[in-house]
Amino acid sequence: MTKIKKTLLSVLIAAGMAFHSLPLLTSAEEAKLIALTFDDGPNISTTNDILDLLEQYDAKASFFLIGDNINSESAVSVKRAYDMGCEIDNHSKTHSNMSKMTPEEIQAEVAFVDEKVTEIIGEPTKFFRPPFIDTAQVMYDNIEQPFICGIDCQDYMPNVMAEERADYILKGAKDGVIVLLHDAAGNDQTVEALKIAMPELKKQGYEFVTLTELFERQGETPRKNILYSQVAKYPCADYTLHQTIDSADTATIPLDKTLLSELGDDYAIEVNYSGNANPPVIALQKWSSTPSVWKAIQPFYYNGERAVFLASDIQAALQETELNYADLDGITLSAFGGEITLSDAKIMLKSSDSSLIGDVNQDHVFNLTDVIMLQKWLLGVGSLTDQKAADFNHDQIINIYDLVLMKKALLKNIY
């Protein structure tokens, strides 16, 4: 063993006394992640009411600030949110439609907020939400931060009461979803909606996280030219390739409905694409009926280059339209609003065992990043994406010995 190997292992073993031995959680026990986000603050009323609730439920959230609302009083609320572990993000200076602005105007809108936020918390904003969800390529080209949307809970409409707003939150909740809400001054109905929704979400196993933590724990890096409403984990780490379908015309890819019917619940469809901010959809088509049917299914996962559709989502759409595979005239992968190029589609089948040992961040590679993630988790300052992959000695306990074995395995691959 080289001197470097010995030194690294000695440091790890010596550090063992600082670590805890923690039981391995089953997948059923792993928290589902949800990101609450709030637009149109800051202020000293509604913003603080929401912060009180976040403290009550040990929750974190992300606040998208309007620059013109930042003053000496509301800055105190911003600092309070930041000190609680919440994230401070950008919603433009004036909350104007920005798609028709010049590059210089766009940059000025975002820079104003960043300067104000930096004065308060010492760092700029992490993400950007376009006012009115109005986007254009000129905005993507001139704004550095990733773009965030979220599920619409209609809490900006005065005739939508707290119970309805809570219902929108609860019905839209799933692992990785981003919830779009508003902490504008006087928006008391959203505060009341959170009093209904947050305890129920906690009961259902959700953990409230910032957007940065959501991306990190889902194993994703935010990209340009995408408007995110959810950040799902890549779902096919435990799938194997069954069939590749090459694209004949690059715009659409027909799928075999008979094959999909035979595969049942255990398949996923993965497609590689390029050329548009919107991911492709799967369209269920029945043109031989009156009225005709065209049902678009959004991908469970997408990252700007790759999209994945799950069998369960396709089957849910069939149930919604009261059809089965045999009833359809076609199932097609295609663009949904805009131009897109499809290179190929892969039919993937679920495998019996999924975890790549050591790949605790589920990026399909075992490397130093996984070691760092496990070490931080054992120290109580981080999280694991895949706990099963960290159990190197298969004793259902994750502790310093797993970290040592992981380091040895990595060094063996390097040297």
pLDDT digits (tens, 9 = 90+) for 28-58: 446 799 999 999 999 999 999 999 999 999 9
Mean pLDDT rounded to a whole number for the chain: 89
Residue 152 has pLDDT above 90, yes or no: yes
For the whole prediction, is pTM greater than 0.85? Answer: no
Q: If you average pLDDT over residues 142-153, what whole number do you get? A: 97
Non-local (6+) Cβ contacts of 122 within 8 A are none
| Residues with catalytic roles | 39, 182
How far is C-alpha 96 from the geometric centre of its chain's CA atoms? 26
Residue-range domains of the chain with CATH: 3-24+363-414 (1.10.1330), 32-228 (3.20.20.370), 239-350 (2.60.120.1070)
pLDDT digits (tens, 9 = 90+) for 226-267: 999 999 999 998 899 999 998 777 789 999 999 999 999 989
Q: What is the CA radius of gyration of the chain?
A: 24
Q: Collapsing DSSP states into helix, strand and coil, what is residue 244?
A: strand
Residue keyed to tokens 């619940």: 265
pLDDT at residue number 13: 42
Phi, psi (rounded to 5 degrees) for 72? -60, -35
Q: If you average pLDDT over residues 333-337, what whole number do you get? A: 85
Q: Sorting pLDDT into bands at 50, 70 and 90, what band is 17? A: very low
pLDDT at residue number 278: 82
Structure tokens at 34: 């949800």
DSSP alpha helix (H) spans, 23-92: 46-56, 74-83
The rounded percent of the chain whose pLDDT value lies above 70 is 89
Residue 144's nearest CA partner among 170, 162, 126 is 126
pLDDT at residue number 148: 98
pLDDT at residue number 7: 45
